[in-house]
Structure 1
Amino acid sequence: MSPITHKPDFGINVDENVSFTQMLNSNSPISSPTHIQQDSGPTTSESRTMNSSKKRARSSTNDEEYRTLLHDIADSFRTMINTSTTQTRNKCAVILREMLNLGEIDKNMHLRALMLMEQGKKPHIFLNLQPDKRVPWLLFNLNHQYSMLPSATVMSSDEEREHAMVKVMFALVIIFFGFLNRRRRIVHPYRNVGSQFIENIINGHPKNCLDLLRMDRSSFITLCNILKEKNLVEDAREISIKEQVAIFLLTVGHNERNRACRNTFQHSSQTISKYINLILRALCQLGKEYISRPNDDTPSKIRFNPRFYPYFKDCLGAIDGIHIPVWVRTSEESRFRNRNGTLSQNVFAVVGFDMRFHYVLAGWEGNATNSRVLYSALDTEIDPFVIPTGKYYLGDGEYPNIHGLLTPYRGHRYHLSEFNASGARRVTSAEELFNHRHSSLRTTVERAFGLLKGRFPILKAQVSFPYRKQVGIVLATCVLHNFIIDHNPHAEQFDVDEGASDDANESTSFVTELESATQSIHRGSNNDLRTSITSQMFMDFQTRR
């Protein structure tokens, strides 16, 4: 069956004189400087007298060159085809191949039809046509442009075939770069958006700065100046120190993801991560200055309260552990699974009665007990937890009553909820009185943990950062907590998480008798001090009644 060579009448005037430049632009189909040459079949005398053997040899040569040409064009197309339209174009290619096999189109028309399927929505139009309408539609579209290749009967010499291949590759290059230019989009088209965002916060309503940056305007500016003066950070070419610090504060203060910060500040994901890590390291370096041991004077909370003074006059603060959710690899989950069944790191902290952190040890696995983390803090050679002679800290029942610590009595009510519950009996023994006042004073550490988590919600959720970075975030937020207290003691408290401490809402898991006895032998017992305080406290309590 010979291919159809007439042009169907669709009622549209087709302009045959289209320039080569017009055909190569982004809105025009692929074109070539020669007109379509229809294969009219063997009608000339020369074709009638052609030897049959020469016909077969030439046909074999043309078929081989045709397959090679198709292979080269297909390789070029693979680099340009959009994955979203690959299936549609593959279906078109299958249909065109079937039409070629049935003789409805010739090889030249098959080649040019494949090129046509790369133009806009034409593959979808081609698929939606009825089978008997596809050949006229192809002829109409192909006659509207110039031929991509000369007809197979014209390519009689190697030089012409090579010339045709050069045309094909040249057109493919133009299509490829035009395809890239049409689909290219600038991800962050706006400049200085981040700096303008920070200026609006600083110069706007004071509550906006508190809500977004978790500190007031003066504290934020002071923090930026301190980091700059200590050469911990510096202004970059397109991002200032204020913007760098704001990126970090939004991340930890609202648990913002990288993508959210990227859109807010109009920077790439790599830039956002870079400055989060930079500010994180800078704040950890400030830890030596802002997280330090308190002075040895009696805290004002004790000194001016007759319920606590003079009984706890040598107390410097309270200790406790807090569990921070972590994200770790599956192979490490067993070590980080705590007694509640969640993945966490056990953070040991020392808090003064001014709500400041005086010592922080982060990074221990969630299945480690509080007492084990305490021993690590006491025995480590790098930045150990040092308790001055004659002073002590308050701890709950998970810690042994050793030198430097004062813990409650076993077997008696301890948590304030047990004393304040409806229908709860009044204090009836010296041990209960000691436990009640001990718990009232030690709740400072739980309030500090609640304030820390309320101000920095990133500590409440698992974040897919490297574990070392997760540990650093805990230390950095503690530094920020102390910084805010130093520069604005009456700062807004946000949503305080009252249940932040591990034992805030559950009964205390006391350290075992064996461990307590072993540590008392190794580190010294504080039972005598506790007994003397209890006796004097209960005696005064009965006298005042």
Structure 2
Amino acid sequence: MELNNVQKSQMIRKRMIIGAVTAIIASVLAFLNVKKSRTKRPKIVRQPYVNRDSLREANIDSVLYCGDSHCLGQIRMRPSAFFSFCNILVERGLLSKRKQMSVKEQVLIFLYLLGHNVRFRDVGGSFFRSTWTIHCYFHIVLQAILRLYPYLVNPPGTHMQPEIQNNPRFFPWFEDFIGAIDGTHVRASVPIEMQERFRGRKDKTTQNVLATVDFDLKFTYVLAGWEGSAHDSRVLGDALRKGFKVPEGKYYLADAGYGDRKGFMPLFRRVRYHLKEYTDNPPENEKELFNLRHSSLRMCIERAFGVLKKRFRVLDAEPFWSYETQVDVVIACCVIHNYLRGVDPNDAITREADLEVETHDIRKSLTQKKILEETKECVKKRNSIALAMWNAYKKHRTN
């Protein structure tokens, strides 16, 4: 019996040894197979360490220090205007240097996004920043620029504007006019259930933006956020309820959509105005002459809208952020536009936009507008201007 136990223990040890050896052999074979398979794969060459801070700074410098034209193409303003704009934001306490990002980089990224309508991830890749970082600083700069609105978008004064006073075609006939008013449509992105309300003149969804400009192409009032299907007169009514006012005795140049309100002077309806003063087809009466000069002077607002959309491509492309942000972006673009009118009014973008406006007839036939009843005061004022202007015009033609 004792012998049998010894034999059994020996057999158990032998089996354990065999099992251990088998496991070792299996492990060795597995290791060799893995090593063999790895040798067949292409080797991954490790890249050298990338100094992101250095590359980021080099990217910023390449935008700001490679010439005015290059900078204008990248961030839609020249370097001198850019640095001055950054200083304004810092001096007013609206932006400050953060641990992660300088003021210069914050503003540059913001302007690049507005100028080219690129995604946050695309800009993040160029500046070695995360999408979340770009998103956060975009909104920080946006809110800072919106707080500049009271400083840069000012109501017009009651004094006569030089563009009228120094031009015999407009003075003294338009001495009480302080600017022009109109609406423009800006691309909008809204939920499907809201899209029908936002389809305006075109098939695309838009927001209707009301604005007034002076004759220096500066915005003096901006109301954004109305759906594209809203009529201009309805948007104006909302603006008046929110505090928009016309100084007593003053007028805005307007189209037929605003003709039923005091302070807004439209053209004569159903009267031609696609003509020239000194050609073979001159105006034939006081109404035609008034319409001609009215439309010529009112081109200031079309020019302002043209420059705005030429500079900020984000306004002509489908946005990818919330609708509240889309509204804020429109106002921010107008604020920056006014700043640039003060420091760099004749840059290449402005000249290009003016050329496009001059070569493209943007005026619409008045018969296509909704005819609204005008106030007696505006009718009387307009008729007296037209008659006095016509008498002076005939006198000048006969001399």
* TM beyond 0.5: yes
**Mapping of residues 472-487 of structure 1, within 5 Å:** 472-487=328-343
Aligned mates of 2:49, 2:130 — CA distance in 1: 8
Aligned mates of 1:120, 1:346 — CA distance in 2: 67
Residue identity opposite 2:384 in structure 1:
S
* SS of match in other structure, 1:409: coil
- Where does residue 353 of structure 2 map in the other structure? 496
- Where does residue 403 of structure 1 map in the other structure? 262
In structure 2, list runs of 5 or more residues that go unmatched: 1-18
Q: Quick check: 1:400–1:511 contact (8 Å CA) kept in 2?
A: no
- Where does residue 428 of structure 1 map in the other structure? 284
**Mapping of residues 32-71 of structure 1, within 5 Å:** 35-37=21-23
Shift of 1:412: 0.9
Residue identity opposite 2:68 in structure 1:
P
Q: Structure 1 pair 389/120, CA: closer, same or farther in 2 (3 Å)?
A: farther
Superposed CA RMSD in Å reads 3.3
Shift of 1:401: 4.3
- What does the per-residue CA deviation read over 1:461-516, in whole Å, with 9 as the maximum and x for residues that have no partner? 1111100111111101111011111122332325417469xx92543442333xx3
- Where does residue 284 of structure 1 map in the other structure? 146
Aligned mates of 2:191, 2:49 — CA distance in 1: 32
Aligned mates of 2:35, 2:172 — CA distance in 1: 87
- Where does residue 234 of structure 1 map in the other structure? 96
- Where does residue 526 of structure 1 map in the other structure? 378
Aligned mates of 1:507, 1:121 — CA distance in 2: 80
Shift of 1:188: 8.3
Normalising by structure 2, report the TM-score.
0.84
Shift of 1:208: 2.2
Q: Quick check: 1:188–1:266 contact (8 Å CA) kept in 2?
A: no
Q: Quick check: 2:146–2:335 contact (8 Å CA) kept in 1?
A: yes
* SS of match in other structure, 1:496: helix
Aligned mates of 1:385, 1:456 — CA distance in 2: 26
Matched, 1:413 2:399: no
Q: Structure 1 pair 359/34, CA: closer, same or farther in 2 (3 Å)?
A: farther
Match of 2:65 among 203, 224, 230: 203
Matched, 1:445 2:304: no
- What does the per-residue CA deviation read over 1:232-273, in whole Å, with 9 as the maximum and x for residues that have no partner? 111111310000000001001122222221121110000111
Q: Structure 1 pair 186/278, CA: closer, same or farther in 2 (3 Å)?
A: farther
Shift of 1:122: 5.1
Shift of 1:450: 0.4
- Where does residue 215 of structure 1 map in the other structure? 77
Residue identity opposite 2:250 in structure 1:
K
- Where does residue 74 of structure 1 map in the other structure? none
Q: Quick check: 1:188–1:267 contact (8 Å CA) kept in 2?
A: no
Q: Quick check: 2:178–2:250 contact (8 Å CA) kept in 1?
A: yes
- Where does residue 325 of structure 1 map in the other structure? 187
- Where does residue 15 of structure 2 map in the other structure? none
* SS of match in other structure, 2:53: coil
Residue identity opposite 1:453 in structure 2:
K
Match of 2:158 among 292, 296, 320: 296
Residue identity opposite 2:263 in structure 1:
G
Q: Structure 1 pair 121/241, CA: closer, same or farther in 2 (3 Å)?
A: farther
Q: Quick check: 2:197–2:228 contact (8 Å CA) kept in 1?
A: yes
Q: Quick check: 1:413–1:432 contact (8 Å CA) kept in 2?
A: yes
Residue identity opposite 2:248 in structure 1:
T
Q: Quick check: 1:453–1:460 contact (8 Å CA) kept in 2?
A: yes
Shift of 1:347: 0.3
Matched, 1:540 2:399: no
- Where does residue 389 of structure 1 map in the other structure? 248
- Where does residue 4 of structure 2 map in the other structure? none
* SS of match in other structure, 1:292: coil
Q: Structure 1 pair 291/210, CA: closer, same or farther in 2 (3 Å)?
A: same
* SS of match in other structure, 2:190: coil
Which range is displaced more, 370-379 or 201-210?
A: 201-210
Shift of 1:205: 2.0
Aligned mates of 1:224, 1:112 — CA distance in 2: 66
Q: Quick check: 2:76–2:311 contact (8 Å CA) kept in 1?
A: yes
Residue identity opposite 1:360 in structure 2:
V
**Mapping of residues 367-382 of structure 1, within 5 Å:** 367-380=229-242
Q: Structure 1 pair 325/38, CA: closer, same or farther in 2 (3 Å)?
A: closer
Q: Structure 1 pair 237/192, CA: closer, same or farther in 2 (3 Å)?
A: farther
Shift of 1:197: 2.1
Give the number of aligned pairs: 370
- Where does residue 305 of structure 1 map in the other structure? 167
Q: Structure 1 pair 245/35, CA: closer, same or farther in 2 (3 Å)?
A: farther
Q: Structure 1 pair 120/368, CA: closer, same or farther in 2 (3 Å)?
A: farther
**Mapping of residues 16-415 of structure 1, within 5 Å:** 35-37=21-23, 190-380=52-242, 384-414=243-273
Matched, 1:455 2:307: no
Shift of 1:38: 9.9
Shift of 1:315: 0.4
Q: Structure 1 pair 121/466, CA: closer, same or farther in 2 (3 Å)?
A: farther
Q: Quick check: 1:401–1:525 contact (8 Å CA) kept in 2?
A: no
* SS of match in other structure, 2:271: coil
Q: Quick check: 1:324–1:346 contact (8 Å CA) kept in 2?
A: yes
Aligned mates of 1:368, 1:122 — CA distance in 2: 68
Aligned mates of 2:246, 2:316 — CA distance in 1: 30
Residue identity opposite 1:396 in structure 2:
D
Q: Quick check: 1:188–1:268 contact (8 Å CA) kept in 2?
A: no
Q: Structure 1 pair 505/120, CA: closer, same or farther in 2 (3 Å)?
A: farther
Shift of 1:37: 4.7
- Where does residue 7 of structure 2 map in the other structure? none
Q: Quick check: 2:256–2:371 contact (8 Å CA) kept in 1?
A: no
Residue identity opposite 1:252 in structure 2:
L
Q: Quick check: 1:499–1:505 contact (8 Å CA) kept in 2?
A: no
Aligned mates of 2:35, 2:275 — CA distance in 1: 77
Shift of 1:112: 11
Aligned mates of 1:299, 1:194 — CA distance in 2: 46
